[in-house]
Amino acid sequence: MMGVSIKYKSVVTGFVLLILFASYPSQAHKDVTSEIYRYQQQEVINRQSAAHEVKPIISHPPTARVPIDRNKLIEISHRADKIQHRRYMTDSHLELRFYQFRSCIDCHPRQANNLHRVRSKITCRQCHGEEPIAGTRHYYSSMHPIRRFAVVCAKCHKGANASFAAYVVHEPNPALKTTQKNFPLLFYVFWAMAAIATGTFAIFLPHTILWGIREFWPNKKIIKNETCTKRKQIKRFTASQRVFHLVLMLSFVTQAGTGLSRMYAGTDWGYFLIFLFGGYTRALFIHKIVGIFMLAALAFHLVYILKKVNLKNLPNSLYGPDSLLPRIEDASQAVRHAAWIVGLGKCPKFDRWTYWEKFDYWAVFWGINILGITGLILYSPVFSSRFIPGWTINVFLWIHRIEAVLAMGHVFIIHFFIGHLRRHHFPMDLTMFEGSIDIQKLQHERSSWVDRLEANGMLPGLIVKRTSVFWRRFYYLFGSIVLVLCLYLLINGILNAEELIRIFK
């Protein structure tokens, strides 16, 4: 009897466990059933008829019985151009007048202007299916959220999951007030990034323009390149610093070209850029590979910085005059330099690094990190959607865009003018290419550094030979080509901006 009792208890226990585990739905089943439940609840709340949800049918009655509460039904007519909640209907275009003579873009112009259509030429029917086109919230629709990733997204994006399908293909205009209600995070992030970009240009564009005018101020001493042929040269940049600048410059121009070709893909100029890079797919491939290369260069630069830190003299190494970290003196010099630009004082004496050079350095540091992080997320959105919701990809894409536009605008306008197009630098400052600078130019713009070097007895050790004429001509030619290419991208980007806005408005 004892053995039978033990067997009985074992059987009962196993049976109970079997029922418990068998009745517990899998995660996928749980998601589907909960979605069905939510869908049915929303159907009742929105007073929608279940008649069109039973099965996809071709012919429809002229009326539908719509529940307004549990015990009362009313009949509504479908003979109108606008029926509330068409996205829940089996045929979302039911009884639309002249529907057979219309195209998708006639009624959905904003939805037609999306990246899928503009860049990849994907048509509406490739995602929404053939007639009758069910509403996107209809349970049997291929675009329903519970199956969209498997039936639609996975056609082009291998491995797409439900999170990836949350990406908003028909993205609202992030600048509009209506987006604040429908997609608040996109709205606030867009305007935050736009405020950063606008504030940067609002400060530095007038600063640059007025500085250029101040260069022609009467009785101002100008140091011209032609008069510097026989004077001493002072070493300013090391070979590794020059190589890093060259790598950064070439990779940045490449990223600007490939990025603009994708951004302006709906314009004639964008198609021309895509053609130059060998097609859209190849332009995207180059953009990704060069982006990874820039992140690797940033990692090497961080290692270089850490090696330069003198642990025995840490405070002076980090905050001394040879450091690129901002100091209180930089703010004071910026104010006094701005006063000099408008004729209200004397020009301050600068040390090895000026305040605008430090801003440029940290702006690049900030930009590469922002573009790198968002770029890695956008590198493989399917993989990224395993860890973040798909709709956040819309947000990261706009951060990437605005930061890229800010970086290109600052480099192509402000950095180029200050570095090369000012009166006593025109047509080009070769210091970063040669690694050395004329001592009289250095005394003119960085007198504090020259005085400090003389006081420390370090000036004689920094005197180097002047670069040969051949290499100077080569640097002029190479720098001019890069400068012209960047100005070409800048000018055409501005000229085609209106067409780009028209496409995606």
Sheet holding 436-438, edge to edge: 436-438, 233-235, 463-464
Strand partners for 164: none
Buried b (16+ CB within 10 A) or exposed e, 216-247: eeeeeeebebeebeeebbbebbeeeebebeeb
pLDDT at 394: 93
The token duo for 450 is 């020259």
Mean pLDDT over 218-244 rounds to 69
In a domain, 466, yes or no: yes
Mean pLDDT over 372-376 rounds to 95
Phi and psi of 230, rounded to 5°? -115, 10
Residues above pLDDT 70, as percent of the chain = 79
Residue 503: pLDDT band with limits 50, 70, 90: low
Considering only CA atoms, which of 401, 403, 373, 400 is closest in space to residue 388?
A: 373
Considering only CA atoms, which of 113, 172, 115, 187 is closest in space to residue 378?
A: 115
Considering only CA atoms, which of 144, 136, 129 is closest in space to residue 36?
A: 144
Average pLDDT, the chain: 79
In a domain, 333, yes or no: yes
Q: What is the DSSP letter of 320?
A: S
Mean pLDDT over 127-132 rounds to 81
Q: Using one digit for the tens of pLDDT, what is the confidence trace for 270-287?
A: 899 999 999 888 999 999
Q: 15-19, 219-223, 377-381: which range is least confident on average? A: 15-19
Q: How far apart are CA 196 and CA 182, in angstroms?
A: 24
Residue 491's domain is classified under what CATH number?
1.20.950.20
Domain coverage including residue 377: 178-504
Which residue would you say has higher pLDDT here, 10 or 286? 286
Instruction: Kindly report the number of other CB atoms within 10 A of residue 164's CB atom.
Output: 23
In a domain, 144, yes or no: no
In a domain, 74, yes or no: no
CA max distance for the chain:
118
Tokens 């003299």 identify what position?
313
Residue 396: pLDDT band with limits 50, 70, 90: very high
pLDDT at 231: 67
pLDDT at 34: 41
Q: Does 491 score more than 60 pLDDT?
A: yes
Q: Does 10 score more than 50 pLDDT?
A: yes
pLDDT at 377: 95
Q: How far apart are CA 84 and CA 92, in angstroms?
A: 10
pLDDT at 320: 83
- Say which residues have a Cβ less than 8 Å from residue 435's Cβ, sequence separation at least 6: 235, 236, 237, 238, 239, 241, 242, 464
In a domain, 400, yes or no: yes
Which residue would you say has higher pLDDT here, 140 or 395? 395
Distance between the two ends of the chain, CA-based, in angstroms? 82
Q: How far apart are CA 22 and CA 29, in angstroms?
A: 12
Residue 482: pLDDT band with limits 50, 70, 90: very high
Tokens 């003119």 identify what position?
444
Strand partners for 67: 73
Mean pLDDT over 47-55 rounds to 36
Q: How far apart are CA 505 and CA 502, in angstroms?
A: 5
Q: Using one digit for the tens of pLDDT, what is the confidence trace for 100-115?
A: 777 787 778 777 777 7
In a domain, 34, yes or no: no
Please tell me the total count of domains within the chain: 1
pLDDT at 30: 36
Which residue would you say has higher pLDDT here, 84 or 54? 84
* Inter-residue contact 400 to 375 (CB < 8 Å): yes
Considering only CA atoms, which of 364, 415, 361 is closest in space to residue 207?
A: 415
Mean pLDDT over 398-418 rounds to 93
Burial class (CB in 10 A: 0-12, 13-18, 19+), 361: middle
Mean pLDDT over 195-204 rounds to 93
Q: Does 64 score more than 80 pLDDT?
A: no
pLDDT at 219: 52
Phi and psi of 235, rounded to 5°? -70, 125
- If DSSP states are collapsed to H, E and C, what string results for 4-20? HHHHHHHHHHHHHHHHH
In a domain, 159, yes or no: no
In a domain, 146, yes or no: no
Q: Does 296 score more than 90 pLDDT?
A: yes
Considering only CA atoms, which of 364, 374, 353, 369 is closest in space to residue 408?
A: 364
* Inter-residue contact 114 to 169 (CB < 8 Å): yes
Q: Using one digit for the tens of pLDDT, what is the confidence trace for 156-169?
A: 888 888 889 889 98
Q: Using one digit for the tens of pLDDT, what is the confidence trace for 408-417?
A: 999 999 998 8
Tokens 């049997």 identify what position?
140
Ordered DSSP codes for 426-457? TT---HHHHSEEEHHHHHHH-HHHHHHHHHHT
**What's the chain's length in residues?**
505
CA atoms within 13 A on the CB side of 181: 2
- The angle that helices 184-214 and 392-409 make with each other, rounded to 10 degrees, is 0
Q: How far apart are CA 139 and CA 142, in angstroms?
A: 8
The whole-model pTM stands at 0.78
Instruction: Kindly report the number of other CB atoms within 10 A of residue 495's CB atom.
Output: 11
